[in-house]
Structures are given as C-alpha cells and as structure tokens.
Structure 1
Amino acid sequence: MHHDDFNFEPVRGLPAALPPDEHILWQGAPEPRRLAREALALDWIMAYFAILIVWRVGVSSTLVSFPVALTHAVPFVIAAVVTAGILYGIAYMQARSTVYTLTNKRVAMRIGAALTMTLNVPYVKIGNADLQLRRDGTGTIAFETIGDARISYLMTWPHVRPWYFRTQPALRCIPDAQRVAAIFAEAAEARVSQPRLSQAPATGGAADTIAAE
C-alpha cells in the first residue's frame, strides 16, 4: 500500500492553500546523483578510495605476486562501494523529501528528510540570484535575501550555496536549470515592478497613493 508522507499538505510542497491571486509556475526537486556529487562530495571521496586502492596494490605487489596483491585491495573496494551507497541513499532521501516551488509571488522550499520545514521567500525580499549551470543541463539557482531575516545554514543544508558566510538559499541540482532560471527571473521582475494601491489619509487632495511592492 502506498503511503504519502506529505498527505497533510493542502498543496504539494506548500504548508497552506494558495490565495486566489497566487498560482504555481514551476515545481521540482534535486537530481539525486548530482546532489550526491555536489553536496556530499561523492567524486572526491571516491577519488580518495581510488588512491588508497592503487597504493595498497602497489605496496603489496612489491612483496607478493600481482594477482595476490589485487586481493589485498578488496576491503578498500568494498568500503568504497558501501560509502557510495550510503551517500547516494542520503542524497536520494533529501531529493525525495524536497519540493521547490516557484509561484508568481515567491520561492517556496519544502526541505528536510528527518525534520521537514518550509522556507518561503517573497521575490521582493530577494536581492541577487545566480545560476550555476552544468553541462548535463542540471544546475543550482542560489539567491541572496535582503532585509533583516537570517537563515540558518545548518537547518537548510544542503539547499544552500556552499562556502558563503551569509546563507544563500538555493534550488540545488535541479534538471533543466536554465529554463527554471528564466521562469524565476521573469516572475521576480514582474513581482518587484508591480505597483500596489494603498490607502492614505485624505488631506484635502487625492486619497490614494501608489507604492511599489
């Protein structure tokens, strides 16, 4: 029987139903293999094991025949396979529990494999955004928040831009990243430039003023 761990959500990836004037433009999640390689350093760890294997075979081959020396590397090979499996499993669980959402008003990130949380960032609270595009079409869109809001790096990892002192939330390792970045930029530009009609006290003149959101 299939069980949906997030069946309490009124809208997938969001903690509450959308208001009438808001709609979803895109939803997605990280690609697990790319997330394992970028966020969990899978490539570097496998390179470390490869060096250990070569070293073990090289040292053993000076004492025993080469076929026997190869068997001395078996424990390292097993350790490498187990480690790769664990890292991929972590990346898969992170990707499975993640839903990135772009609406016409905000970026929403439902993240966390063990402790689930939803991060909502209105476009008007985003200063700059940066796209890191890979050759396979996957990429990461990181954005810098403005204002006094502080975002915990530990609470939002791995959905952050690495090695930045001020935490930048990121849509990590998403497929078709260039198209998503275009949707992001268009929605943010439209939202930031949208005027808002607000009521001001009448002072003998016009009672309505226009303020930019």
Structure 2
Amino acid sequence: MTTEYEIEPIPGLPGNLPKGEEIVWQGKPNWRSFARAVFHIRLVTAWFVFVAALAFVAGGTGLKGAAITMAVAVLGLAVLAGLAWLEARSTIYTLTNRRIVMRFGVALPKCVNLPLTRIGAADVRQLGDGHVDIVLRMTERFPLGWLQMWPHVRPWQVAKPQPMLRALDEAFLPVLANSLASADPSAKPAMATGAPVSAAIGVAA
C-alpha cells in the first residue's frame, strides 16, 4: 500500500510546480536540535539523573533503584531520540517564490501549503546551537487544528494554532526574510526585531 506522498515528482511536494513557480530553498529539521526543542531531551535527562541521585544517596536498596532508574532513563531517551530522528527524517520544508510547503508525518504524512502573501510575520526562537524554530504568523485564521500540526506548530497556542518550522539552520533566516519581502514589496526584511512588522522576522516570545 502506498500513499500520495510516497510518489512525489519532487521530494517534499505533492505535485509538479506550476509555471512561474520555482524552489528557493529546501531543508529538514536537525534531529538533535529537534529532540531538544520538541521532546525536551535535556530536561528529561536531568530529571532521571536527579531521581537516580536521590536513590543513590539513600544507600542500601536505593543503589539498586538508582541502577534501575538509569536503565529506564537510557531506554526512554533512546525512544525519544528515535522518534525525533524519524520525525525529522520524514519532514521536508520547501520555500518557493510563492509559498512555504510543509510535508511531515511518520505514520500519517500530510502536506500543508502556506502562501507567502498570507504570512504576516515570522518570529524566531533561538535554540542555542546554531539552529532556530520559526513561528509563521498567518494573516488569516489557520484552518488546521493544533494536534493535526504537532509538532510543527507553536507550543501551547491551541486555540489559535500557528505553523512552526522546526530546528532549522539559522542561515535560512535571511533567505526567508528576502522571500517574504519579495512577496510583499511594501515590507522590508528585518532581523531580530522586538515587534515584528509585516513580512519581517522577529523574536518569538
């Protein structure tokens, strides 16, 4: 059994591009940064270490508990890392001169089209390792639900979902800024502004 996304004329796109549209950039999330940002690998690791340390300090049978805790931690972290790798591998973000296409999903692949003219601003969240999350603020209400878009959606914005490009190299930022400005000639591409303006890139809260 195959899905429509297993037979792609162009990787990451559900069909051939119409005349006049061309690919500006394509990329995938960095799976390690994705794991830290989405599954909070570092926080989970710290929690397991804390629990194991308490058991170790208790001594006696606590030593066995500490060993079991660390074994569970290794298994759990391996599962989270595997999920992050699979999700990042199945994701392709495509920027054309007209839209952003988000293709993602391991078990249930989906493809989301975001016209550049309907993106009012792009807010950046630095991940601290040369990668960024980019929130796309739409000028119209986004039609898909938060769960349908997860994890490619801004955290906790359940009532008003905002699409989010995850764990991308920060070198992509000027490319996106220029494309948004080209889609809206009245706007100038801005980087790291506190209050994003139309077609500008700002800093996410």
Structure 2 match to 1:48 = 47
Partner amino acid for 1:12?
P
* Percent of paired sites with the same residue: 35
Partner amino acid for 2:118?
K
- Are 1:32 and 2:31 matched, yes or no? yes
Partner amino acid for 1:91?
A
Q: Deviations over 1:108-131 (max 9, x none)?
A: 000111100000000111111111
- Are 1:136 and 2:129 matched, yes or no? yes
Distance of 2:10 and 2:185 partners within structure 1: 27
Structure 2 match to 1:185 = 177
Distance of 1:135 and 1:41 partners within structure 2: 14
Structure number with greater Rg is 1
Distance of 1:99 and 1:46 partners within structure 2: 28
Q: How many residues end up aligned between the 2 structures?
A: 182
Deviates more, 1:12-21 or 1:68-77: 68-77
The answer to whether the 8 Å contact 1:105/1:188 transfers is no
Shift of 1:22: 0.8
Distance of 1:192 and 1:112 partners within structure 2: 31
Q: TM-score, normalised by structure 2?
A: 0.83
Structure 2 match to 1:16 = 15
Shift of 1:193: 2.6
Structure 1 match to 2:87 = 94
- Are 1:155 and 2:148 matched, yes or no? yes
Unpaired runs of at least 5, structure 2: 187-205
Distance of 2:141 and 2:125 partners within structure 1: 26
Distance of 1:180 and 1:150 partners within structure 2: 26
Q: Deviations over 1:37-66 (max 9, x none)?
A: 11112112111111110111111x2xx4xx
The structure 1 segments of at least 4 consecutive aligned residues displaced by more than 3 Å after TM superposition are: 68-72
